[in-house]
Chain A
Amino acid sequence: MTAPLRKHALALATLLALAAAPFLGFGDGFALSLLARAMILGMAAVSLSLLVGGAGLVSLGHAATMGIGAYAVVAFDAAGISEGLIVFPAAIAAAAAYALVTGAVSLRTSGVHFIMITLAFGQMAFFTTSSFSSLGGDDGYTLYARTEWLGTRIMDNRLTFHFLCLGLLALVWMGGNLLLGSRFGRVLRAARENPQRALAVGFQPYPYRLIAYVMAGAVGGLAGALLANATEFVSPALLSWTRSGELLFMVILGGVGQLGGAILGALAIVLLEESLSHLLVYWRLVFGPLLVLSVLFLPDGLIGAPLRLRAALRFASPKRRNADA
């Protein structure tokens, strides 16, 4: 296998599995909506992974970009417009604009400051959407109809929607990888590891980081618009910081070094949440500790788990210990 293929093997396998899923027994309405949610969140997680792993920017407010995209759909719906060629670009543009303004300020800081500021801006967006009583306020908003495309209701068909989301997810993932391997990506990666070195050869990290931040915001907006269509209901909870934290978890669970890991992370978390919430009323009592344990013991994410397990077993086996003695 050639090197790039090997590196992306897991992500490719996941995408193929998602393509095959409807025909392998996951074709019913419930399964498809679950998978759609996983893919849409995966898209947002991939864009966040670009920021975290590529640029070294840990944003705790990424859910806000999704929320803005979703609320753009809502705002147009309330005005009676559901034409995709208007609504989707607007959603993406709105999220990108939000990222531009908040990023311009946030990126003047770094480290912990940056994390806290992105959190604060996310909250600001959350409160703002809660106060729009004409768009449902705290109670949320139910869409009259899904987005139409040139008069056709292609998004209403669950199977078509599934492959639409999958296609967009694959595009975002591939685009992200190309971005990281480009001239732009090289500057971003250098600035992440050693900002002083980037400056020393003549690069100022700020414009590169801002562009990456806006791009990630735009993808978040796209994901939000898709989510609004998937669930046909949007509430401010979509912008809460717990959702941002969840997205970060998807990134870290999949392993920060790889964009594709975020897809796996999203799938894992969505499936875990779904199964746990059906088993227990207070399912977060299990989910929470699982998250904590995964951070403490799986610093490389799920992808690193087999290696860690092997290392742990080797240490525990008496044969090996005697050999070392």
Chain B
Amino acid sequence: MPDPLLELRDLSKNFGALTVTSDVSLTVLPGEIHAIIGPNGAGKTTLIHQISGTLRPDLGTIRFAGQDVTALPFERRARLGLARSFQITSIVPGFTALENVALAVQARSGSSFRFLRPVANEEALNDEARTALDSVGLGRVADRSAAALSHGEKRQLELAIAIAMKPRLLLLDEPLAGAGPEETERLIGILRELRSRYGILLVEHDMQAVFALADRISVLVYGRVIVTGMVDEIRGHPEVRTAYLGEDALA
């Protein structure tokens, strides 16, 4: 069994009297897609925030690529190879799609304390950026302003940026949210391809997609992981059905 890429141990977080994360332990292995599902209010996004570093857990540890990163801030984890996408798409609207991605390439290609040479002329950065854009199907809009992209294209752009970081782990917060059927198909295809290169931890509501994509699934209810297992195991799990009472997808 390979060393886990990401390991959460007994993670807990409270906001005052409200417990949002309770003794969460899970792992993500290299090359696997691990999905986190759960009803609304289960604390999925809070969990993602703690893994990426925007929130500090009260208890527990997070190990990433063999290192204890619990105390590291957001941008340091990014530099270590933890790439995150956001529930509300977060790109630089004034940049072109290309420049958005090139920024990510730049972050890992030497110092950015260079003050005179025009960065737009750095072909090495641009080439890598274009490759990343092509891999998500945005090659043709590389030079368009990111603000002018459609909602779906912006989501693809976020993926492209994450890929351009040459990460070890992709942390995706509802990558399919608001996507139409065509877009969903496309994104699922992209994610399947990415699995071979990285580990992926994703939070999603779209059950069909989750069952189609995930290798393992963890179910989060009221901040607690009630079960982790393979797709069929989760499908038939009585507690999971109870948690999703009323959801047709599990029937």
Co-complex (A, B): yes
- Which A residues have a C-beta under 8 Å from some C-beta of B? 178-179, 181-187, 189-190, 193-194, 196-204, 208, 211
- A sample of 26 inter-chain contacts (CB < 8 A) reads A178-B115, A178-B116, A181-B119, A182-B117, A183-B113, A184-B112, A184-B115, A185-B119, A186-B99, A186-B102, A187-B103, A189-B92, A190-B103, A193-B93, A194-B91, A194-B93, A196-B90, A198-B103, A199-B75, A200-B74, A200-B84, A201-B78, A201-B165, A202-B76, A202-B78, A202-B165
Other CB < 8 Å A-B pairs besides A184-B114, A189-B92, A200-B75, 8 of them?
A: A178-B115, A182-B118, A182-B119, A186-B103, A186-B119, A196-B90, A199-B75, A208-B112
Tell me if B94 and A183 are in contact (CB < 8 A): no
| Residue total for B at the interface (Cβ-Cβ under 8 A) | 36
Known: A184-B113, A201-B107, A202-B108. A178 touches B118 (CB 8 A): yes
Tell me if B106 and A183 are in contact (CB < 8 A): yes
Tell me if B78 and A200 are in contact (CB < 8 A): yes
Minimum CB distance partner of A215 in chain B: B115
Bound Cα distance A202, B52 (Å)? 12
- Which B residues have a C-beta under 8 Å from some C-beta of A? 73-76, 78-79, 83-84, 86, 90-95, 99-100, 102-104, 106-108, 111-120, 122, 161, 165
Tell me if A193 and B112 are in contact (CB < 8 A): no
Residues of A within 8 A of B78 (CB): 199-202
Total number of A-B contacts with CB less than 8 angstroms? 95
Minimum CB distance partner of A196 in chain B: B90
Tell me if A203 and B112 are in contact (CB < 8 A): yes
Residues of A within 8 A of B83 (CB): 200
Tell me if A202 and B75 are in contact (CB < 8 A): yes
Tell me if A201 and B114 are in contact (CB < 8 A): no
Tell me if B90 and A211 are in contact (CB < 8 A): no
Interchain residue pairs A-B with the least CB separation, the first 9: A202-B78, A202-B79, A202-B107, A201-B104, A183-B114, A183-B112, A199-B75, A181-B118, A201-B107
Tell me if A199 and B119 are in contact (CB < 8 A): no
Q: How far is the CB of A200 from chain B (nearest CB, A)?
A: 6
Tell me if B90 and A200 are in contact (CB < 8 A): yes
Bound Cα distance A187, B103 (Å)? 7
Bound Cα distance A272, B37 (Å)? 64
Tell me if A197 and B90 are in contact (CB < 8 A): yes
Residues of B within 8 A of A189 (CB): 92, 94-95
Bound Cα distance A200, B115 (Å)? 22
Tell me if B75 and A203 are in contact (CB < 8 A): yes
Tell me if A197 and B112 are in contact (CB < 8 A): no
Residues of A within 8 A of B95 (CB): 189-190, 193
Bound Cα distance A194, B104 (Å)? 13
Tell me if A197 and B107 are in contact (CB < 8 A): no
